[in-house]
Structure 1
Amino acid sequence: MQFPGILWSAMSSLIKEEMQKKIFRPDGQCLDEFIEIVYSAQGRYFLCVSVTKGQEVQISLLKHTRSNLDDKYEKTETWLLKDLVLLDGRESDTDNPHFDMHYDKMYTLEALSCAAKYSFARCLVQLSRRYYKKELKVVNFDTAYIEPTSLSANRGDCMVLMQICFYAFNLVCLSLCPVT
């Protein structure tokens, strides 16, 4: 039996490592967070948050394409976090993956999941505090899921452990069901 959450976590780490190696490290940047977004029917797109050597936080839109067995990533847009006027979750009371980034222009985006949208928002809030010593203006998000907690601050081990427990519980429940 596969563990989808754990499998995604491992795949996510590999994707992050590959993007770091091919796109961010050569530019002297460190990739902090990324999410996959729904952007176009052609190719996969990722919204990435990186920190430059000069400690500028950048948000980049990367297009992923595959040619034979080679994965290619291309930056199609780049914005600075310090120029972000507002991050709007659009609807805080629904499970909604859409959000808007307000710069001089508004960019409407859709994450693959609501959890990814919140992960992205949490990252931006934390980096704004760390590098710019200011609060990022965020609206229409449930703040309980954006503010750092011990679980989200050390999410790697905790999230994997939670996923293992969740799937183990499901396996126990399934084993108790009678087979017809």
Structure 2
Amino acid sequence: MSSLVKEDLAKRLFGPRRQRLHEFIEVEGAGAQRYYLCAAVTKSKEVEICMVKHWRVDREEKYEIVEKWFLKDLEMIDGKEADTDNPYFDMHFHKVYNMEAYSCASKYTFARTLNKLNAMYLKKDFKIVNFDDTYLNDDSFWSSSNRDFLVVMRVCFYASNLLCLSLCRLS
């Protein structure tokens, strides 16, 4: 599902702006709309971080950028508590923005992406604090490239549990 949303965002919102969407995560918003925090690279190789509002009108998906920042202005990402499984983090620009990701895993995915984009385009010194370093490294088992594998593993686990339960009822 997330790859379909990413493809739709890239095609409808970032493509016409001549930007390449690298990553997005769902963040908590108010009401029926969904909000995504996106990291994209512009044609001039600037890294933009933007908050996108997503809603549906009849059967058509609509997207609107409601807030935009540049990675060069990011001073710090604060994961709040590295020792707990929480989706909260702060992004420190000229002002601090409090975020609540859909999950702790997506919070780490976004921090990893920003760190990687910084290494590729800026090589700027910004802090990533209150994150477990084990999961921030791109070569970790939990990196975003393995998300599909993890989803398949979960589905197989649940399917095997259902099979076991149904076999237990038969005996």
Q: TM-score, normalised by structure 2?
A: 0.88
Q: Distance in 1 between matches of 2:144 and 2:62?
A: 31
Other-structure match for 1:60: 50
Q: Distance in 2 between matches of 1:142 and 1:176?
A: 41
1:41-70 superposed Cα distances (whole Å, 9 cap, x missing partner): 241100011011111111110001110000
Other-structure match for 1:70: 60
How many pairs does the alignment contain? 170
Consecutive unaligned residues in structure 2, runs of 5 or more: none
Shift, 1:169, TM fit: 4.6
1:125-158 superposed Cα distances (whole Å, 9 cap, x missing partner): 1111111124531001111111111642742564
1:34 is aligned to 2:24: yes
Q: Distance in 2 between matches of 1:91 and 1:150?
A: 20
Check the 8 A contact 1:65/1:73 in 2, yes or no. yes
Other-structure match for 1:91: 81
Structure 1 residues 106-115 or 38-47, which shifts more? 38-47
Identity value in percent? 52
Shift, 1:39, TM fit: 2.2
Check the 8 A contact 1:129/1:135 in 2, yes or no. no
Q: TM-score, normalised by structure 1?
A: 0.84
- Compared CA separation, residues 113 and 22, structure 1 to 2 (3 A): same
**4+ residue runs of structure 1 moved beyond 6 angstroms?**
none
Per the alignment, in what secondary structure is the counterpart of residue 86 of structure 2?
A: coil
- Compared CA separation, residues 122 and 173, structure 1 to 2 (3 A): farther
Q: Please tell me the root mean square deviation across aligned C-alpha atoms, in Å.
A: 2.1
Shift, 1:174, TM fit: 3.7
Q: Distance in 1 between matches of 2:9 and 2:34?
A: 13
Check the 8 A contact 1:111/1:117 in 2, yes or no. yes
Q: Which residue among 122, 135, 160 is the counterpart of 1:132?
A: 122
Per the alignment, in what secondary structure is the counterpart of residue 65 of structure 2?
A: strand
Consecutive unaligned residues in structure 1, runs of 5 or more: 1-10
Q: Distance in 1 between matches of 2:28 and 2:147?
A: 25
